[in-house]
Structures are given as C-alpha cells and as structure tokens.
Amino acid sequence: MKSTGNISNYPWGHEKPYNDFSSYFRKLFDCRVQKISIDAGFTCPNRDGSRGRGGCTFCDNKTFNPAYCLPENTVSKQLDQGISFFSERYKTQKYLAYFQAYSNTYASLDHLKVLYEEALSHPGVIGLVIGTRPDCISEELLIYLAELNEKYFISLEFGVESTLDRTLSRVNRRHTFGEVKEALKACSAYEFNVGVHLILGLPGENEADILSHAGILSALPFNFLKLHQLQIIRGTQMAKEYELQSGDFIQFTAEQYIDLTIRFLELLRPDIILERFISQSPLDKLISPRWGLKNYQFTNKLVNEMLKRNTWQGRKVTGDG
C-alpha cells in the first residue's frame, strides 16, 4: 500500500501518508472550514475541588486561547470577533464553534443548551467542537448531542493525554484510563464524532510507553486524534517539576520527535483521522522544547520523512509492512 503518481492507494484516498483532518473536512464540506475558539467560563472538576485542586500540572489555558477568547464576552461576541479575524484572510468559508477552554460539558444540561444553541444560531456556524474530560459527560448530554448532530456537525473531544494511570495520576488528571474507555464506549452508541487528545513525552514515560499508546487507543471507538509534544510552560506546576527532576523528562529534538511520531503512526489504526502533531505556545511562556518550527513546517518535515521511508499510518497494523 503506497502512493504512485497521482493515484493514491492509501485507504483515505489522497496522497498524504497519513489520514489527515484537512483533507477529510474538504471532502465532507466541499469548502474551507475554520474553528473559532470560545471561552465560555467553564472550570474543571480537578480545579473546583469536586475531584481535586490546581488542575493538570502541565496546564495553562492562556497559551492556546486567542486574545478574543474572554469569558466575560458572550458566545456571540467571541464568534463575531473570531470570524472577523479569519474572514479577512479567507473570503469563503464556514465555521465551527470550538468550546475549548477547560471542561465544556461541566455544567447543567440546561446551561449547556443555552451556550451551544447560541453558537449554532450564529450565521456561518455549521457545528460545534466541544472539549471536555471523560468524567464530565452524562447519557442525557449524549442524547442531546446526537439530536444536534442530525442538523449540524458535532464533535466531542476528550483530553486523554496518556493511557497509563500512573501518568494520569502524576500530572493530576484526577481521572483514570478506565473512565476514558467507559466514556468512549458510551459515545459509540450515538451518531456524532469523537476526538481524543494525547500528549507525547509526559514525565516518567519512555519511548516504549509512548508507542504503546497507539495500539491501546486503536482498540477504542473514536474518529479524530490530536497529538502534541509535551511543552513545559512557565508558571505551571510541571515547570517546577522540570526544574527539579529534568531527568524524568525526555528531551526530544524536532528530528527525534518526528521519528517517534512516525513510529507511532505506523502502529495506529488507519481510519483514525489525525488533526495535528504538535502545538505551539507563545515563546515568552515556553521553556522547552524550543524548536522554532510552525505547525505546517513540522508537518512538511514529517511527511517528507515518511515518504523517504516509504511508510504510512497503520503500516504495522494492516500487515502491509
């Protein structure tokens, strides 16, 4: 299974050696689709005391929230500002309202309905992407999302971060991987999209641990996967740990991380759609790693190396390699 000329033999039907998100969306919507981030003022159960305090040790939401994401602004105002920004660069496109900051299902269903339906009533918005945790869903919520999915694109994204309970405990996730499996199984009974986030390089994990995540996740029901490298952010609890116990962290160069990502992809189920491989935090907040690569630059290097190796996503799963 490999690409030859202009005709792709990959099961996802295009020339990239992995099942990429942008190609999937272009095929699904026949136009460009942009996510607009929203901070709707949610918190998390490991921040408010219901499960813990302090949040995840790596977490600083300010590193990925756009400047217009202010919880004191309404959902509609945040969408207005986000759409205004992107419409200057791309004249024809549709939008997804991305409830991103903290756990965006951690409220009563009545409150969630108000926020979600305000977003869906906005002109140009064709769906929702909702970031949350596996311990913040209910059957009534899943039924409601399935109903919305009949008219809109709906994706529920779970922060998983690791498949190892010892790691989840160390980074203060305050949920287990068993809860992840239960949540994904519950979602699989309904017709909407499900995404998973995974961090590669959390403290205490070696390369064998990281690669094992691919096979474990491949056995679970979900559609989209976001990978990113562990980033050490100033002011976080993990930054303090890094200063005191740097030996517990793998210090990947960009080239080493590309190699690891390729080996991870080879072990990943080929129908899982990859949305990203790295994340970019502001340099003034970032301690490590400081690769100086934008997302698209990293992806180009990754693709070129995969083509050079004549390898692809799922190569070691399908029996073709």
Calpha distance 180→182 (Å, rounded): 5
- Give domain status of residue 320, yes or no: no
Q: Is residue 1 a part of any domain in this protein?
A: no
Q: How far is CA 197 from CA 72, 146, 288, in A?
A: 27, 21, 20
CB 145 within 8 A of CB 192: yes
- 15 domain residue, yes or no: no
Query: How many whole angstroms separate alpha carbon 116 and alpha carbon 45?
Result: 20
- The predicted pLDDT at position 4 comes to 45
- Calpha distance 313→122 (Å, rounded): 37
Whether residue 4 lies inside any domain: the answer is no
| pTM over 0.75, yes/no | yes
Q: Which range marks the domain in which residue 45 is found?
A: 21-315
3-class secondary structure per residue, the chain? CCCECCECCCCCCCCCCCCEHHHHHHHHHCCEEEEEEECCCCCCCCCCCCCCCCCCCCCCHHHCCCCCCCCCCCHHHHHHHHHHHHHCCCCCEEEEEEECCCCCCCCCHHHHHHHHHHHHCCCCEEEEEEEECCCCCCHHHHHHHHHHCCCCEEEEEEEEECCCHHHHHHCCCCCCHHHHHHHHHHHCCCCCEEEEEEEECCCCCCHHHHHHHHHHHHCCCCCEEEEEECCEECCCHHHHHHHHCHHHCCCCCHHHHHHHHHHHHHCCCCCCEEEECCCCCCCCCEEECCCCCCHHHHHHHHHHHHHHHCCCCCHHHHCCC
The Cα 113–Cα 140 span in angstroms is 12
Sign of CA dihedral 252, 258, 262, 267: positive
* Residue-level pLDDT at 3: 47
In a domain, 215, yes or no: yes
> Structurally, how many domains does the chain consist of?
1
Burial of 14 (0-12, 13-18, 19+ CB in 10 A): middle
pLDDT of 321? 58
CATH code for position 226: 3.20.20.70
Cα distance between residue 233 and residue 170, in whole Å:
17
- In a domain? residue 9: no
Is 186 contained in some domain? yes
Q: Phi/psi at 34 (nearest 5 deg)? A: -120, 135
Asked if residue 14 belongs to a domain, the reply is no
Using alpha carbons only, give the angle 285, 50, 61 rounded to the nearest 5 degrees: 15
pLDDT in tens, the chain (321 residues): 554 444 467 999 889 999 999 999 888 988 888 999 999 999 999 999 899 888 999 988 666 667 667 788 999 999 999 998 888 777 668 999 999 989 999 999 999 999 999 999 999 899 999 999 999 999 999 999 999 999 999 999 999 999 999 999 999 999 999 999 999 999 999 999 999 999 999 999 999 999 999 999 999 999 999 999 999 999 999 999 999 988 899 989 999 999 999 999 999 999 999 999 999 888 999 999 999 999 999 999 999 999 999 999 999 997 665
Report the alpha-carbon distance of residue 300 to residue 314 in Å, rounded.
Answer: 19
Instruction: Please give the pLDDT value at position 62.
Output: 66
Q: Which of 101, 99, 62 is nearest to 79 (CA)?
A: 99
> What pLDDT is recorded for position 5?
41
In degrees and rounded to multiples of 5, residue 2 shows phi and psi of -155, 170
